[in-house]
Amino acid sequence: MAEVPPDQPVKDAKRVQSLVYEALERNQTLPVALTSLQIQGGNNTRSSFLRAQVDDLLTRPYTVRTLLQALDDSAKRLNSFGIFKGVAYGLDLAAPQENLPGVVALEGTLLLQDASTKRLRTGTDVGNGEVSAYASGALLNVFGGAESLTIDANIGSQRRSSYIVDYSTPIKNSHLWRADISGVASSSNREWASHEEVLRGLRAKAVGPGAFGGTQEIGYEAFWRTVTGVKAHASESVRAAAGDSFKSSVFNTWTLDKRNDPLFPTEGFSIKLKNEVAGYLPNRQGDIQFMKGEVESQVAKSFWKENITISLTGRGGLLWSFMKDGKTNIVDRFALGGANDVRGFYLNRMGPRDEEDSVGGEAYAAGGLSLFSRLPGVTHTSPLRLHLFANAGSLLGLNRENPRETIAKLFKEPSVAAGVGLIYKHPVARFELNFTLPIAARASEFPRKGFQFGLGMSFL
Amino acid sequence: MVDSASASDTSGSASVPDQTKTPPSSTSQPSSNVMYMKVPSLIKTVFDKFPLVKYAEAPLPSACIFPAPSKKLGTVFVHAITDDLIYPQSIRLLTILKLAGVFDKFTTIPSSPHAAPKSGSVPYIFLPSRPKVDSDLLPRTIYPESKAFYRWLASIAPSFPAFDPAQQNPLLSLVDVRLRDAWVLTLYLYPLNYSSIFVPRLSHGYSQSDRSTSILPQILAYTTSHDAQKLLRRSTGVPRITETTQKSIIANAEEALDALANLLAVSRTLYLNGGKPGVLDAAVYGYLWPILNFDFKNMKGDGQAELKTMVAERKALVDLVNRIHDQVCNL
C-alpha cells in the first residue's frame, strides 16, 4: 500500500473545493428549489423562532447563485442575534419533484451551534480620579427567541452607584427590530455643580432601521429625578434646583453611520439626530415640560495610505422649556467641556456659572478638527497615532425673548482650545493623552492648560 | 458633549502643570492635580506666555437668575411655598423675619429638604458671604434653630426681642416636640387629612402647568407619610403607632397647649415673649395658624380633629394667633 504524504488531505480538500467552485460557476443559473430544511442544533431556541428566520427560504424559486446568496444572508441574520457561535448551511440533492419539472430539488441542513446563555463579568475601573467596581450578568436567549436579560451594577466614587436591568427582545422575531425595556436606578456625583443626582425610572424603546439607510430608536422614558446632596459651598442656583422632578418623555434618535470604525474612523461620515419631548403625553405626563433637540455629525478622510487622517466633528443642541415660567431643570440642561468633547476645559466646566458651579446651558454648539498621523517608525496599522487638534464650543443660557441672538452668540464668541497628543485605539475604547492649550474662553468657564487624558467611545 | 442625565464616557486629566483657572479644591477632580510628567521648561514658557482671550460670562439660564445679592441680605430657602403654607417650620422662619422687619431684604425660594447640605434641614437662610458678628465669622448657611441664627438675627434686627435660651428653650421644646408630634400625627397619619389637606397642596406645589396629573406628588406624599411614621416612632420610642400612642401624643399636645395658655394668663401680656412677639410666638404661630385654619378631621373623618378642637377651645392662644397673623399680614 502506498504511503500517503502528510499534505495529501489538504490537497484533496483543496481539489474538492476547487471542483465545487467550478461546478457552481458552471451552474450559476441552474434553477433549483429548496424542498426541505432540517435544523440541527439550536436546542436553546424555540422552533417557532427558528422557523420564522428560515421559512422564506423554502417558498422562493432560486438559481444556484441566488440560493447561495439567500443562505449566506440567512446565516448572517441568524448570527446577528448573538445566540449562536456557529451557523452553517449544508445542501444535498433531494429526490426529483414531479411538480418542479426542470428544477433541481435540494435538501438543506442548518447547523446551529449554541452560544453560552449565561454571562457574568466583574471588574474594577480606575480613571479620572474615580475608582469603581462593576458586576454584569446576562441571561441570553431567555425564552428561546433571542431575548436577553441583563443586570449591571456599578459602584464608584463619582457615579456613586448605578443599577440597570434591561430586557431586550426581537419584535415579532425580526432581526431588524428590537424592543428594549430598562429599569434604571443610579446616583452620581455632579461635582461641577456641587450636588448629587439620583435617577430612578424606566425606559422603553424600539430599535430598528430608519430613513436613508440609517437606524432609529423610538422610545418613552419615565424618570423620577432628585437633585440632592447639595454641598455646603453650593450656589444659590444649585440650591434652588434641589428637589424632585418627574420626567415623562418620548424620544427619537436617528443615526446614519457610514464610518469604517466608530472609535477611530479613517473614512466615512455619520449623522445623528436626537429629539426628546417631555410632558406632553396624556396622563402621568410628569411635571417637566420641554423639547430638546441635538445634532451630531462627523466626517473622516484619510490620505497617503492612511498615514494622515483628518476628522471634522460638529455638535449642537437646543433645550426649550414649555413650563409656565420658562425655566429649565439642571438635570435636563446641556453640559460641555472635558477630554471627550471640548478639550482644554475641565469636565462639564464650560458655559454659565453661578459662584463655583457650572450650572449648564440651554443651547450649545461645538466643533473639532483633528489631524491624526502615523508615528515615525510605526506601521500605519498601529493603534497608536499622533494627534493635532483644534476644538471650539459655546454653551449658553437661552434668551427666550430672542433665541436667534443666543444662537448667533454661540458662533460669534466660541471658546477655543488646541493641542497635540497621542491616541491609542483599543478594541473597546479610545485613549487620548493630549497637551491642551486654551486660546479663548468665557469668564465663567474653567479652561485648563496642560495634559488631559481622555477615555471613551466618542470624541469631538 | 455629555447630557447631564446620561454621561457615559469617562474623561480625566493627568498632569496639569499650568492651569489657567483651577476649580475650588472642594470640587476639583482628584486626579487633576497629580503630576505624571514634567513639561520641558521651554514648552512651559511658551505655553505660559500664550495669551488667553477672555469673553464675557456666559448668560445664565433663567432658572438661575435671582435678585442681585447686593440688594438683598440673602436667600431664604423654605418648603414649597403656596398661599396656604403647611410647613410650620417655614411659617415660623418667615414670621420671625417679618416680625423683625427684615423679610423684604430676602429672596424667598420654595425648595425641598434636598436643598440643604444637612438633609431634611429646610428652611434655612443662605447668605452671599459669611457674616461677621462680634468678630466671629458665622457660616453662610444659617439654620433657624442654631445659635448662629440668633446671633446673626440680633445683628441685623437689633429691635427684635432677643432669644433667651435659658428661659425659652423649655417652652420651645413643648412646641418642637409635643405640638409637632400631634401635628404630624393629625396631618400625615389621619388618612382624610393626608388626602384632603396635604396631598392636594403638595400636588399644587409641583404642578407648574394646569395639568397636575404627575405621579411625583403621589410618590412624595407616600414617602412623606412613611417618614412621618418613622419620626413619631423615634419620638415616642415605640415600635408601632397604636391607638394608645395616638392618644398619648394628643394628650401631650394638650398639656403643651395648657402650658402656653397659662403662660399668657400669668404674664398678662399680649405675647408669650412679653409686649412684643418673639421667636416663641412665631414658633407657636407656625403650628397653630394652620391648625385653626385648615379643615382638620379626626381619624375616622366623622368630626373635627382633637388637636383643632383643643386649640380652638383655648381662647388666649386663638387671640395670640390672630394678633400675630394681623401683624404678619400687615408687614
Kindly state the helix (H) or strand (E) to which residue B205 belongs, with its residue range: helix B199-206
d(C-alpha A135, C-alpha A151), whole Å: 8
Q: Tell whether the model's pLDDT for residue A379 goes beyond 70.
A: yes
Does A237 contact B64 at a Cβ distance shorter than 8 Å?
Answer: yes
Bridge-partner residues for A396, per DSSP?
A363
pLDDT at A94: 81
Residue from A281, A276, A272 nearest A292 by CA: A276
* pLDDT tens digits for range A231-262: 988 998 999 899 888 899 999 999 999 999 98
Span B231-250, mean pLDDT? 92
3-state secondary structure of A54: helix
Q: What is the pLDDT of residue A232?
A: 87
Using DSSP's 3-state secondary structure scheme, residue B127 falls into coil
Q: Residue B257: what pLDDT?
A: 95
- Please return the burial class of B281, using the count of CB atoms within 10 Å of its CB with bins 0-12, 13-18 and 19+: buried
Q: Are the CB atoms for B125 and B149 separated by under 8 Å?
A: yes
**Chain A residue with Cα closest to B116:** A230
CB contact under 8 A, B60 and A287: no
Using only C-alpha atoms, what is the Rg of chain A?
A: 28
Residues of A in contact with B121 (CB under 8 A): none
Once rounded to an integer, what is the mean pLDDT over residues B27-32? Answer: 39
Give B300 or B160, the one with higher predicted confidence. B160
**For residue B179, how many other CB atoms are within 10 A of its CB?**
24
Q: Which of A47-61, A84-98, A261-275, B206-220 has the lowest mean pLDDT?
A: B206-220
Residue found by looking up cell 429629539 in the block: A275
Range with the lowest mean pLDDT among A94-103, A112-121, B263-272? A94-103
Min Cα separation A413/chain B (Å): 7
Cβ distance A447 to B20 less than 8 Å, yes or no, reads: yes
CB contact under 8 A, B53 and A441: yes
Burial class (CB in 10 A: 0-12, 13-18, 19+), A358: buried
- pLDDT bucket at B21, cuts 50 / 70 / 90: very low
pLDDT at B18: 39
A260/A263 Cα distance (integer angstroms): 9
- Mean pLDDT, chain B, as a whole number? 81
Residue B1 touches partner A, C-beta closer than 8 Å: yes
| pLDDT in the model for residue B78 | 87
Tell whether the model's pLDDT for residue B232 goes beyond 70: yes
Higher pLDDT, A430 or B84: A430
- On whether any CB of chain A is under 8 Å from the CB of B219, the answer is yes
Question: Nine-digit cell at B45?
Answer: 514658557
Residue B1 predicted with pLDDT over 50: no
Predicted TM-score (pTM) of the model is 0.82
Average the pLDDT over A294-311 and give the result: 92
What contacts B194, CB < 8 A, 6 or more positions away?
A: B187, B188, B221, B225
Q: Can you give the pLDDT at residue B208?
A: 52
pLDDT of residue A158: 66
ipTM of predicted complex: 0.78
pLDDT higher than 90, residue A325: no
Distance CA A130, CA A13 (A): 55
Task: Assess B68–A contact: CB distance below 8 Å, yes or no.
Answer: no
pLDDT of residue B302: 84
Q: What is the CA radius of gyration of chain B?
A: 25
pLDDT number for residue B26? 38
Percent of chain B with pLDDT over 90: 42
Shortest CA gap A431–chain B (Å) = 9
pLDDT for A159 equals 64
Name, in order, each residue with C-beta under 8 angstroms of A385's C-beta and a sequence gap of 6 or more.
A264, A309, A372, A373, A374, A375, A422, A423, A424, A425
B275-317: pLDDT as tens digits: 899 999 999 999 999 999 989 998 888 888 899 999 999 999 9
Q: What pLDDT, on a 0 to 100 scale, did the predictor assign at position A192?
A: 94
Under the banding of pLDDT at 50, 70 and 90, the label for residue A16 is confident
Query: Of A372, A395, A368, A389, nearest to A313 (Cα)?
Result: A368
Residue appearing with cell numbers 462680634: B134
From residue A442, alpha-carbon distances to B4, B28, B57 in Å are 20, 19, 5
Query: What pLDDT score does A57 carry?
Result: 85
Q: Please give the average per-residue pLDDT across B18-43, as a whole number.
A: 50
Distance CA A167, CA A145 (A): 12
Report the pLDDT value the prediction gives residue B13, as an integer from 0 to 100. Answer: 39
Higher-pLDDT residue of A230 and A130 is A230
For residue B27, name the pLDDT band (cuts at 50, 70, 90): very low
Which amino acid, residue B120?
G
Q: Tell me the three cell numbers of residue B28.
A: 476639583
State whether residue A87 is helix, strand or coil: strand
Separation in Å, CA of B47 to nearest CA in chain A: 7
Q: Which residues of A413-440 are buried (b: 16+ CB within 10 A; e: fewer)?
A: bbbbbbbebebebeeeebbbbbbbbbbb
CB pairs under 8 A between A and B: 307
**A273-287, A409-423, B194-208, range with greatest mean pLDDT:** A409-423
Instruction: Tell me which residue in A286, A333, A457 faces B9 most closely, judged by beta carbons.
Output: A457
Element at A296 (helix H, strand E)? strand A290-303
Confirm or reject contact between B19 and chain A (CB < 8 A): yes
Give pLDDT, residue A398. 94
Q: How far apart are the first and last CA of chain B?
A: 49
3 state DSSP class of A124: strand
pLDDT band at B9 (very low <50, low <70, confident <90, very high): very low
Please determine, for residue B12, whether its predicted confidence score (pLDDT) is greater than 70.
no
pLDDT at A92: 85
Question: Is the pLDDT score of B200 beyond 50?
Answer: yes
What is the layout of strands, in order, in the sheet containing B106-111?
A: B106-111, B74-79, B124-126, B141-142
DSSP conformation letters of B267-305: HT-SBTTBSS--HHHHHHHHHHHHHHHS--B-TTSSSB-
Mean pLDDT of B111-116: 82
CA distance B328 to A303: 77
**C-alpha cell read off for A32:** 433549483
Residue B17 in contact with partner chain A when CB distance is under 8 A = yes
What is the mean pLDDT of the segment spanning B43-61?
A: 83
CA distance B217 to chain A (A): 9
How many Cβ atoms are within 10 Å of A2's Cβ, its own excluded?
Answer: 4
Q: How far is B119 from chain A (nearest CA, A)?
A: 7
Which whole number is the average pLDDT over A378-385? 83
Least confident window among A96-105, A234-243, B212-221: B212-221
> What's the grid cell of residue A297?
455629525
| Among B206, B2, B124, residue whose Cα is nearest residue A225 | B206
The helix (run of H) or strand (run of E) holding residue A318 is strand A308-321
